[in-house]
Amino acid sequence: MPDRLSPEERSAHMRRIRKVDTKPELVVRRTAHRLGYRFRLHRRELPGTPDLVFPRLRKVVLVHGCFWHQHPGCRLARLPKSRLDYWLPKLRRNQERDAQAIKSLRRLGWRVLVLWECQAAREEAVAGRIAAFLRRK
C-alpha cells in the first residue's frame, strides 16, 4: 500500500510543522539555561532571525532542522520522493539563505554556532558544544 497522502492530508500535515519552539530548539534553550546562560529569542533585527541570541557575548545559536536545511550526510535530510520540481529549489533556497545569514552575522561581528536537529537528540553533547562555544573568546 503506497503511503501517499491526499492533498488535504498533506496540507494538514504541513500546517503542524512549527517554525519556532520546535523540540530541538527547546532542548537547546533548556540546555543553555541549565548551564547558566541567559539569552534572547528570535531577534528579528538580526540576519536570519537567530534562535538564541547572547547579546553581551555577541554570539548566536541557530538550530536547524535536518530536513529543512539539508544537513549533509544526515539520514533525516533525505529528499522527498515526489514533487522534486517544487522541493529541490525550496531546499536549495533554504541553504542559500542560511549561508547568507551566517555571512551577514559574522560581518556584523557576531559569532555563530549551528546546531542540527539530530544533534539535539544527544543533550549531553549539545551541552558540551554550547558551553565550549559560549566560553570561547
pLDDT tens digits along 8-48: 776 665 666 666 779 999 999 999 999 999 999 999 999 99
pLDDT at 21: 73
pLDDT at 137: 82
Residue type (1 letter), 99: A
Sequence-distant (6+) residues with CB within 8 A of 37 are 54, 130, 134
In this structure, what DSSP letter does residue 53 have?
Answer: E
Sequence-distant (6+) residues with CB within 8 A of 115 are 24, 28, 61, 62, 63, 64, 126, 129, 130
Taking 70 as the pLDDT cut, the residues of the chain under it are 1-3, 10-19
pLDDT at 15: 63
87, 80 Cβ separation under 8 angstroms: yes
How far apart, in Å, are the Cα atoms of 78 and each of 65, 67, 73, 75? 12, 7, 9, 6
60, 44 Cβ separation under 8 angstroms: no
Q: Is the dihedral of CA 43, 46, 51, 53 positive or negative?
A: negative
pLDDT at 82: 85
User: How far is the C-alpha of 62 from the C-alpha of 72, rounded, in Å?
Assistant: 16
pTM reported for the whole predicted model = 0.85
The domains found in the chain, sorted by start residue, are 20-135 (3.40.960.10)
